[in-house]
Amino acid sequence: MPVLAGAVAPRGASHHLVVVGGSYAGLQAVASARESGFGGRVTLITAEDHPPYQRPPLSKAYLLGKVAEDALPLRAESFYRDAAIDLVTGCRVSHLDPVRRTITCGQDRPMPFDALVIACGARARRLAVPGAELDGVVVLRDLADARALRERLTAATSVLIVGGGYIGLEVAASAASLGKPVVVLEAGPRLLARAVPPQISDHLVRLHRRRGVTIRLGTGLDRLDGEGGRVVRAMGSDGARYPCDLVVVGVGAVPNVDFAQACGLATPAGIAIDAFCRTGMEGVYAAGDCTVQPNAFADSPLRLECVQNAMDQGRSAGAAVAGRPEPCPGIPRFWSDQFDAKLQSVGLSAGSDLSVSRGSSEEGRFSLFHFRQGHLRAVDSVNRPGDQIIGRRFLAAGLSPTPDQARDPAFDLRTLLPVS
Amino acid sequence: MVGIVFVSADGGEREVEAPVGATVMLAAIRNDIRGIDAECGGSLNCATCHVYLDPACLPLVPGPSHDEAALLAHVSAERRPTSRLSCQIAIAPGLPRLRVALPEHQTCPF
């Protein structure tokens, strides 16, 4: 296990670990700190009114009414009690004093810390078009958003989705599954352009259109019109009018770095951390969607928005706090469910020079294996989860099949992996 | 409600109640059963909610899907004929009490 010189972290009983942010990264940080032997006081602070809960179902099973709220918590209440974690809800941190080593929520007294993990996540980016403030224009980021959206979706007669990214497409699929007319406006030339290669984008367009979703590519939003304060129609950059009484905006997220920025820990792009999730400040770590971290899969540091990155970084930060630093694995992993398609990615396909497919798009089950100079860089899959876990193992081990082996469905890729 | 007995790797037992519509994984998380990580929340992404279903319970539940079987090929602890991903074992109406054993570890070294 790598140990850093001079990185002896506070872990005695008198030490206080404060974790700001109650989602995957924050929760994983406190759990991992305890599992790694941190014996001091632990406080987990969240701005929301609930203990940490699952987010992926919010745009899918929860919207469809297939998952109830009581199935969402990530841990049982007894977890916090048994692990001696003080869970503070409804508390938004407004100030970090790096000299006194305190953090402050609103008007509360400053809370001293010995170690701090900042895991504040990101918030939905808002639209900057006329009419964006109208009633009926919503975003989806947290449980409060999801509750509101679920209610509005029931009553909606036509739904407009702005943005063909993960959130937009998942909500589009959920709304269409509920029988609602749905239009997706995507300003770029294809769906999920930042995340997946063109073959997957094309597959998704066909999938959504087959299920009745109208997809308009290369079409931005010029303006939203309202009546009596409520949205009634959208004007697309294609000059068309789209009637709608519910607009879901899924145009990306911006990191929550306000208080970290105020004390010089962050830029608007995020909080810079190293492989061990350390910031530039002694004893202060950061994890999850608010961070920017060097990554072996990219030429410059990355801000990743995904559950797996949040958990990996939370685990690394928690272990470091307990004095057992371990670097983050840093293998990007994403997934999304839309209709009956399970979309998964491991690694980053950008920068690859050869892609081969395994399975076929026509059958609705295929993977793309991406190579650079003959070496595996990423795997994108639709309904082939087995390929994902194999891809993950290849990437983690620094191994690669040949492109011919990857494209031959009769070849068992597992035979190339070390026996686990 | 259906009773589920979790047998930990060291032999300790705990029984919890799970409602119809839930899964064995969800019952474990709700009751803070240690030894099931369930990193992906039950969406067939991670293979970290691996359990060994008691052989007597095997005929009571549908067998693994193609995708579950593909993930089971990569679980971290020993894979046995009774291996299942607990997120894929649904609590169906009329199901008698289930008994599952927890493997020694979940998180794959990758």
Rounded Cα distance, B76 and A419, in Å? 11
Rounded Cα distance, A413 and B1, in Å? 42
- B108: contact with A, CB 8 A cutoff: yes
Q: Can you give the residue range of the structural domain that contains B15?
A: 2-101
Nearest to B102 by CA among B31, B20, B37, B21: B37
What 3-state DSSP class applies to A58? helix
Residue of chain B whose Cα is closest to the Cα of A61: B43
- B59: contact with A, CB 8 A cutoff: no
A342/B44 CB distance under 8 A: yes
ipTM score of the complex?
A: 0.88
Residue A171 is predicted with a pLDDT of 98
Q: Which residues of B touch A51 (CB under 8 A)?
A: none
Q: Does B108 reside within a domain?
A: no
Domains identified in chain B, total number = 1
What's at A197, amino acid-wise?
P
Give chain B as a DSSP string: -EEEEEE-TTS-EEEEEE-TT-BHHHHHHHTT-TT---TTSSSSS---SEEEE-GGGGGGSPPPPHHHHHHHTT-SS---TTEEEGGG-B--TT---EEEE--S--S---
The torsion defined by the Cα of B31, B33, B34 and B40, in degrees rounded to 10, comes to -70
- B43: contact with A, CB 8 A cutoff: yes
CA angle (A80, A86, A92) in 5-degree steps: 120
Q: Which of B43, B44, B110 sits opposite A56 (nearest CB)?
A: B43
Rounded Cα distance, A374 and A378, in Å? 12
The model carries a pTM of: 0.93
A71/B26 CB distance under 8 A: yes
- A76: contact with B, CB 8 A cutoff: yes
Spell out a b/e string for B12-40, using b for 16 or more CB atoms within 10 Å of the CB, else e.
eeeebebeeebbbbbbbbbbbbebbbbbb
Residue-wise pLDDT for A4-54, tens only, equals 333 444 456 679 999 999 999 999 999 999 999 999 999 999 999 999 999
Residue of B20, B33, B43, B105 for testing the chain A interface, max A β-carbons within 10 Å? B43
Give contacts of B 61-100 with A, CB under 8 A: 67, 70-71, 73-74, 76
Residue of chain A whose Cα is closest to the Cα of B75: A420
Residue-wise pLDDT for A185-236, tens only, equals 999 999 999 999 999 999 999 999 999 999 999 999 999 999 999 999 999 9
Mean pLDDT (chain A) is 94
Residue B109 has pLDDT above 90, yes or no: no
Q: Which residues of B touch A395 (CB under 8 A)?
A: 110
Residue A123, judged by CB atoms within 10 A of its CB (0-12, 13-18, 19+), counts as middle
Q: Which residues of B touch A74 (CB under 8 A)?
A: 29
- A78: contact with B, CB 8 A cutoff: yes
Residue of chain B whose Cα is closest to the Cα of A398: B110
Give contacts of A 124-183 with B, CB under 8 A: none
Residue-wise pLDDT for A41-89, tens only, equals 999 999 999 999 999 999 999 999 998 898 899 999 999 999 999 999 9
Instruction: Indicate which CATH number applies to the domain containing B69.
Output: 3.10.20.30
Contact between A43 and A19 (Cβ < 8 Å): yes
- B30: contact with A, CB 8 A cutoff: yes
Rounded Cα distance, A184 and A175, in Å? 11
Residue of chain B whose Cα is closest to the Cα of A76: B30
Q: Does B107 reside within a domain?
A: no
Residue of chain B whose Cα is closest to the Cα of A328: B110
A386/B73 CB distance under 8 A: yes
Q: Does B58 reside within a domain?
A: yes
Residue-wise pLDDT for A232-268, tens only, equals 999 999 999 999 999 999 999 999 999 999 999 999 9
Q: Does B17 reside within a domain?
A: yes
Residue A3 has pLDDT above 60, yes or no: no
B32/A392 CB distance under 8 A: no
Q: Which of A337, A383, A414 sits opposite B73 (nearest CB)?
A: A414
Confidence of residue A1 (pLDDT cuts 50, 70, 90): very low
Residue A57 distance to chain B (closest CA, Å): 9
The β-bridge partners of B23 are B90
Residue of B23, B30, B39, B45 for testing the chain A interface, max A β-carbons within 10 Å? B45
Residue B110 distance to chain A (closest CA, Å): 5
CB pairs under 8 A between A and B: 68
Q: Does B65 reside within a domain?
A: yes
Lowest mean pLDDT among A18-22, A134-138, A400-404, B31-35: B31-35
Q: Which of A75, A331, A389 sits opposite B47 (nearest CB)?
A: A389
- Residue A73 to residues A41, A76, A159, A186, A292, Cα–Cα distance (Å): 23, 7, 29, 33, 27
Q: Which residues of B touch A78 (CB under 8 A)?
A: 31-32
Residue-wise pLDDT for B68-83, tens only, equals 999 998 888 999 999 9
Residue of chain A whose Cα is closest to the Cα of B79: A420
Give A115-179 as a DSSP string: EEEE---EEEPPP-STTTTSBTEEE-SSHHHHHHHHHHHHH-SSEEEE--SHHHHHHHHHHHHTT
Contact between A380 and A197 (Cβ < 8 Å): yes
Residue of chain B whose Cα is closest to the Cα of A344: B45
The residues, ordered by sequence, that sit 6+ positions from A144 with a Cβ below 8 Å of its Cβ are: A48
Q: Which residues of A touch B16 (CB under 8 A)?
A: none
Residue A231 DSSP class: E
Strand A85-88 vs strand A253-255: parallel, antiparallel, or unpaired? unpaired
B71/A389 CB distance under 8 A: yes
Contact between A311 and A30 (Cβ < 8 Å): no
- Residue B95 to residues A95, B28, B68, Cα–Cα distance (Å): 53, 17, 21
Please give the structure tokens belonging to residue A148: 């509101």
Residue found by looking up tokens 């939203």 in the block: A224
Q: Does B106 reside within a domain?
A: no
Q: Does B110 reside within a domain?
A: no
Residue A372 has pLDDT above 60, yes or no: yes
Residue A177 is predicted with a pLDDT of 97
